[in-house]
Amino acid sequence: MSHSQTTTTEHHPALAHQFDSMAQQREASNLGMWVFLLTEIMMFGGLFTAYLIYRLKYYEAFVAGSTSISVSWGFANTLVLIGSSLTMAMAVWSAQQGKRRLQVLFIAMTMLLGSVFLGVKAKEYYDKYEECHIPGSSFNAEGGPGCESGDIAKELVEREHIPLEAARQTAHQTQIFFSFYFAMTGLHALHMFLGMGLMTWLLLRARRGDFGPEYYSPMEYGGLYWHFVDIVWIYLFPLLYLISRHR
Amino acid sequence: MSTVTISTPPKLEMPVKHYLNDNYGIRSWLLTKDHKRIAILYLLTLTFFFFLGGVFAAMIRLQLLTPEGTLFQADTYNKLFTMHGVNMVFFFLVPSIPAVLGNFLVPLMVGAKDLALPKINLASWYIFIIGAAFALAALVSGGVDTGWTFYTPLSSGYLKTHVITLAVGVLIAGFASIFTGLNFIVTVHRMRAPGLTWGRLPLFIWSNYATSIIMVLGTPVLAITLILLALERGFHIGIFDPKLGGDPVLFQHMFWFYSHPAVYIMILPGMGVISEIVTCFSRKRVFGYSFVAFSSIAIAVFGFLVWAHHMFVAGISTYSALVFSLLSFAVAIPSAVKVFNWTATIYKGSVSFDTPMLYALGFIGLFTVGGLTGLFLAALGLDVHVHDTYFVIAHFHYVMVGGMVMAYLGGMHFWWPKLSGRLYPEGWAKLAALITFIGFNLTFFPQFILGYMGMPRRLAAYPPEFQVLNVLSTAGASILAVGFILPLIYFLWSMKYGEVAGPNPWRATGLEWQTSSPPPTHNFDHTPVVTREPYHYGEEDEEEVPVVP
Amino acid sequence: MQFKLPLFPQQASTVAGQVDALYLFLVLITTFFSLLIGLLILFFAIKYKRTPERRAEQIHGSTLLEIIWTVIPLGISMVIFVWGAAIYFHERRPPANALEVYGVGKQWMWKFEYTGGQREINSLHVPTGRPVKISMISQDVIHSLFFPSFRVKQDVLPNRYTDLWFEATQPGTYHLFCSQYCGTKHSGMIGEVVVMKPEDFEAWLGSGKVEGSMASNGEKYFQELGCITCHRPDSGARGPNLQGLYGRPVRLSDGRTVMADDNYIRESILNPNAKIVSGFQPIMPTFQGVVTSEEDMLQLIAYIKSLGEQSGQPLNNRTTPTMIRDNEVPNIQQEKKDNPQAPAGKKP
């Protein structure tokens, strides 16, 4: 059972020197990719846990903060990202089929949709900037000078009919909601940027014709990464945008 | 009973081509994919950080010679213990055995040509260097004085030192350890030689495998904790700052969720080394192989369940303190099982006292003391008294230095012939081991007493009645320093002047000894096939071991 | 340099002996097992020393031994666990008749205050034979109050009261440390606890200059801040009656019932929106930024504690909520800015 000599018929150009066969390489790199995704789950998981703890502690403020971000844009982004996962899956399928042009097309579409997502996020961040809702020394949830549109206290009084004093306290506490909003969507956006870089590299390799039925692992793992980032967003969207929307 | 024929062995020669001389030039090292060269790169880096941390330790001990503590200003002293802790934990202990011995030996021990993901391996070293650069930048720009535990709100809002730089350095270095762990897991699962079933794996592999699980699951939580700390400090956002509605105790929970398993990252590989050494120098298979193997996994699992035993007086509820105390006793049991099994391995063995064995025996004794003093800390009513005192410092130095560093040195001596092709000078090595053992005990035993007497940690100055014990401790530290410097000198000396080792100077079992010393870049000329259990010393000693040229 | 080499601090509290007993037990266990392993290793290593004739006996293992040396350490561990937990439970339950002392830790000193208004910095006087409970909070970072001779410590947190209790047994002067690293002068945050016989302690209490008890200072502050505007005992008051509040359960508007302890009162002052008493409107303004010093907060709490006895009923003296329009809520802060001299909240 020992295969000490590698015969030339087995030697795929993409076979790395430490592996004895493409099958072994595939299995090893597949396991590696899943373990890596596990580490990502642990990292986002830590952040999500902290979010959940504060959401329990400052529920009203979290509702108020959530209401002040746009569900429409968030939902649009969700559709965009799910669409990009679809195009990515198509790209992987095309690679499996060895269809070079289709691979390139689908990766490009994925990148396009990813850019749309990032563009919308930039717009949302800018809105928050205009409303003075960015945490830090300039945070103001009561409509300070130049950011009257960000008066959460006023909105609370109008919407929930609570006294102004209570509304002001809740508004003051929304800073912690926004801290998590920016930390969570920011970490997610960072992963999107890295994903875009990954896509660029895959695009170049796909154009070169590197991938085919015997070897398409990089595409597959790029796809896994992209799907993972998508799933993180599918958790983020309801957690951040949809708190108590039924009210 | 067969007699062992002793004939004059042929004069050993270094192999003509091996991984060290296969390619010359700095590019061949900095762009290498060879796990053995990456191990050497790590060895050089980690040795630097060990001695840097040691310099800080020396300065701490000098300050503590007098109660008034006038050698350094309080702020400087606070930076010294912080940088000592950060250096030693994140830039030496966590990577140490996995990144040096693990990287070198895991592929050899499983009979593979390299790790599963060599480019990731090299990336891990570069990531480590980048993290180290940030840490050094923080050091050079004045040092940081948060304590290695970075507790908030002190670290997030009350200090003017470059906390973010250091936190970023630590979190980047954490990614290096994630990549190493990931690589080991994939390698052990997918790259074992034909016939090498899980039940035939050396215990060094089991330990590193368990360590890798912890690295992969725990380190990301440290990453996010430090990211949040940096964001809080940079943008004043109030996640841990009570003035802005945050909870400083949440930081402790998140920090210790990683940092407790981290101590098992630090000790488990050392335990693997001890298993290898004790068997070889008793010429005997390990007693209770499955129990030792599974105890590593048990430690990894239980290790994730005990973090709040660092927080018994931090303001957690009495009931959660109960649960964590109970689990902390549970996690001690697998380690005890290992100690008993090693002792039983020596029973009816054929024992020799080469330097690796001296370090291993020292480990067993000192780790036992260190581990048992952990029980003092797991006991709630007692922990209330000794928490945050020198008792804790003595406890963790016993397990980390008396345990882990001894294991590291033992492993370095055991596998030095394999790494370098040379033997170290045995006489000097034994002397260094003895000096280290004596110096270590003199340094840290008095600290148990100091702690129970009530001397708190992290004090730049202390009441006069604590002086005698502090002076003893500093005296011990100066001896310990000699014990650590000697190996540095003679290992370097042996590279040129040491006796040629040959493939298997210890007549050890294990696939790594079936290839030349140093090994060729591709590890094995022919893929080994495994048909025997590990530690098949009985068979080894029945006949002369054929030496593979 | 002193040459006395004691192994543990004086036992100066009722719990010190118990802690030392557990410690001794653990020292014996540690010594026993360390010696056992150490001697066994030495003995085996020498007895089975390598000689040219020596052949190791290839033993696989013994499940029986594995069970024995798992179960016995587990059993011993459980004994230690229960023993330690019992001491801990005892330490976490301050007796009801404890002498109350308040502590504020700040960078880098300890401030203590007795209900009678006596204040100390970096020192604490306590009587023998009576439990003493210290309720404490930090003005800034996390500190930790540690009395080695009493064998107790507790972290002192910002924004939250924690407590620690002991009963001193031996007159004398002992160390008091900060045992949670807190910055530059952490080593300087050191003091002394002076244990005195009860008569001496009473004499000491009466000896210093006192500017009013905590409760009376708290009452003055209460008036100054205008709390009385809403927190009146009559049924038309906008805020819950504070008479007899302390120590009783409180029913909240969201259905929960909480205990009116120090942390509850503090939160109600700084973040009133967090818990609204059932039957009242969320109209109380926050005093974050107004009540900034922890000592001042303690005076207020001491005052509220002093109002009335405890009875068993949960506090909810309102059946119909009173409608408040926004322009009726007095703006205490604004009034203080307009007219700093006049006591606030005079108009309805």
pLDDT tens string B69-85: 899 999 999 999 999 99
Give the pLDDT confidence score for residue C5 in this predicted structure.
62
Judged against a pLDDT cut of 60, whether residue C338 lies above it is answered with: no
pLDDT tier at C316, thresholds 50, 70, 90: very low
- At C191-237, the pLDDT tens digits run 999 999 999 999 999 988 888 899 999 999 999 999 988 998 887 78
Q: Distance from B543 to chain C by nearest Cα, in Å? A: 12
- At B493-523, the pLDDT tens digits run 999 999 999 999 999 999 999 999 899 999 9
Q: Distance from A207 to chain B by nearest Cα, in Å? A: 23
Judged against a pLDDT cut of 90, whether residue B298 lies above it is answered with: yes
Region B98-105 average pLDDT = 97
The interface pTM score, or ipTM, of the predicted complex is 0.92
Is residue B226 assigned to a domain? yes
The CATH number linked to B391 is 1.20.210.10
Give the pLDDT confidence score for residue C54 in this predicted structure.
84
Residue B249 domain boundaries: 34-542
C41 contacts chain B (CB < 8 A): yes
A-chain residues within 8 Å CB-CB of B237?
Answer: 135-136, 175-176, 179
Judged against a pLDDT cut of 80, whether residue C344 lies above it is answered with: no
- Cα–Cα dist B476/B443, whole Å: 4
- Cα–Cα dist B385/B448, whole Å: 13
Check residue B304 and report its DSSP letter.
T
Judged against a pLDDT cut of 70, whether residue A207 lies above it is answered with: yes
Judged against a pLDDT cut of 50, whether residue C2 lies above it is answered with: no
Give the pLDDT confidence score for residue C309 in this predicted structure.
55
Residue located via tokens 């801040």: C225
Q: Do C34 and B463 touch (CB under 8 A)?
A: no
Q: How many CA atoms lie within 13 A of B128 on its CB side?
A: 29
pLDDT tier at C321, thresholds 50, 70, 90: very low
pLDDT tier at B6, thresholds 50, 70, 90: low
Total domains, chain C: 2
Q: What percent of chain B has pLDDT over 70?
A: 96
- Cα–Cα dist C40/B340, whole Å: 10
A-chain residues within 8 Å CB-CB of B247?
Answer: 53, 57
Judged against a pLDDT cut of 80, whether residue B384 lies above it is answered with: yes
pLDDT tier at B486, thresholds 50, 70, 90: very high
Is residue C41 assigned to a domain? no
Q: Which of C185, C211, C237 is the last residue of a domain?
A: C211
CA–centroid distance for A224 within its chain? 13
- At C267-299, the pLDDT tens digits run 999 999 889 999 898 889 899 889 989 999 999
Are C21 and C155 in a shared domain?
Answer: yes
Is residue C141 assigned to a domain? yes
Q: Distance from A58 to chain C by nearest Cα, in Å? A: 8
- Check if the beta carbon of residue B362 is closer than 8 Å to that of residue B433: yes
C263 contacts chain A (CB < 8 A): no
- At C43-73, the pLDDT tens digits run 999 999 998 888 888 988 999 999 999 999 9
Query: Which one of A20, A39, A194, A228 would you mutate to disrupt binding with B, by most B Cβ within 10 Å of its Cβ?
Result: A39
Judged against a pLDDT cut of 80, whether residue B376 lies above it is answered with: yes
For the record, the structure tokens of C145 come out as: 């109050």
Are C234 and C318 in a shared domain?
Answer: yes
Q: Do A165 and C329 touch (CB under 8 A)?
A: yes
Q: Which of C177, C211, C245 is the last residue of a domain?
A: C211
Judged against a pLDDT cut of 70, whether residue B548 lies above it is answered with: no
Show which of residues 158-187 on chain A sit within 8 Å of chain C, judged by CB atoms.
Answer: 162-166, 168-170, 172-173
Judged against a pLDDT cut of 50, whether residue C345 lies above it is answered with: no
Chain B neighbors (3+ CB pairs < 8 Å): A, C
Identity of the residue numbered A64? A
The CATH number linked to C125 is 2.60.40.420
Give the nearest partner residue to C187 out of B74, B325, B369, using CB atoms. B74
pLDDT tier at B162, thresholds 50, 70, 90: very high
Other residues' Cβ atoms within 10 Å of the Cβ of residue A226: 27
Q: Is the peptide bond before B518 cis (omega within 30 degrees of 0)?
A: yes
pLDDT tier at B244, thresholds 50, 70, 90: confident
According to CATH, the superfamily of the domain at A22-57+72-137+175-241 is Cytochrome c oxidase, subunit III, four-helix bundle (1.20.120.80)
C-chain residues within 8 Å CB-CB of A166?
Answer: 272-273, 281-283
Give the nearest partner residue to C22 out of B351, B353, B381, using CB atoms. B381
Are C229 and C269 in a shared domain?
Answer: yes
Would you kindly state where each structural domain of chain A is located, as residue ranges?
22-57+72-137+175-241
Is residue B274 assigned to a domain? yes
Q: Do A163 and C324 touch (CB under 8 A)?
A: yes
- Cα–Cα dist C204/C198, whole Å: 10
Check residue B399 and report its DSSP letter.
I
Are C13 and C141 in a shared domain?
Answer: yes
pLDDT tier at C36, thresholds 50, 70, 90: very high
Q: Do A175 and B223 touch (CB under 8 A)?
A: no
Judged against a pLDDT cut of 50, whether residue C149 lies above it is answered with: yes
Judged against a pLDDT cut of 50, whether residue B364 lies above it is answered with: yes
C91 contacts chain B (CB < 8 A): yes
Give the pLDDT confidence score for residue C311 in this predicted structure.
44
Give the pLDDT confidence score for residue C312 in this predicted structure.
42
Let me know how long chain B is. Answer: 549
Residue A215 backbone dihedrals phi, psi, to 5 degrees: -150, 105
| Residue B469 Cα distances to B65, B390, B455, C174, angstroms | 9, 11, 11, 19
Mean per-residue pLDDT of chain B: 94
B36-40, B105-109, C103-107, C310-314, range with the lowest pLDDT: C310-314
Give the pLDDT confidence score for residue C318 in this predicted structure.
44
Residue C251 domain boundaries: 214-338
For the record, the structure tokens of B276 come out as: 């290898």
Total domains, chain B: 1
pLDDT tier at B99, thresholds 50, 70, 90: very high
The CATH number linked to C277 is 1.10.760.10
pLDDT tier at B102, thresholds 50, 70, 90: very high
Are C25 and C150 in a shared domain?
Answer: yes
Query: Which one of B299, B310, B313, B366 would you mutate to disrupt binding with C, by most C Cβ within 10 Å of its Cβ?
Result: B313
Strands C123-127 and C119-121: unpaired
Instruction: Return the HEC string of chain A.
Output: CCCCCCCHHHCCCCCCCCCCCHHHHHHHHHHHHHHHHHHHHHHHHHHHHHHHHHHHHCHHHHHHHHHCCCHHHHHHHHHHHHHHHHHHHHHHHHHHHCCHHHHHHHHHHHHHHHHHHHHHHHHHHHHHHHCCCCCCCCCCCECCCCCHHHEHHHHHHHHHCCCHHHHHHHHHHHHHHHHHHHHHHHHHHHHHHHHHHHHHHHHHHHHCCCCECCECHHHHHHHHHHHHHHHHHHHHHHHHHCCCCCC
Q: What percent of chain C has pLDDT over 70?
A: 87
The better pLDDT of the pair B14, B105 is held by B105
Are C193 and C238 in a shared domain?
Answer: no
pLDDT tier at B5, thresholds 50, 70, 90: low
Is residue B11 assigned to a domain? no
Judged against a pLDDT cut of 90, whether residue B538 lies above it is answered with: no
pLDDT tier at A4, thresholds 50, 70, 90: very low
Region A54-83 average pLDDT = 94
Closest CA in chain A for residue B193: A2
For the record, the structure tokens of C51 come out as: 């000689």
C115 φψ region: left (φ > 0), alpha (ψ -120 to 50), beta (else)? alpha
Query: Which one of C229, C273, C275, C325 would you mutate to disrupt binding with A, by most A Cβ within 10 Å of its Cβ?
Result: C273
A96-110, B204-218, B476-490, C51-65, range with the lowest pLDDT: C51-65
The better pLDDT of the pair B78, C341 is held by B78
Instruction: Enter the pTM of the model.
Output: 0.92
Residue C23 backbone dihedrals phi, psi, to 5 degrees: -60, -45
Judged against a pLDDT cut of 80, whether residue C343 lies above it is answered with: no
Is residue B536 assigned to a domain? yes
Chain A neighbors (3+ CB pairs < 8 Å): B, C
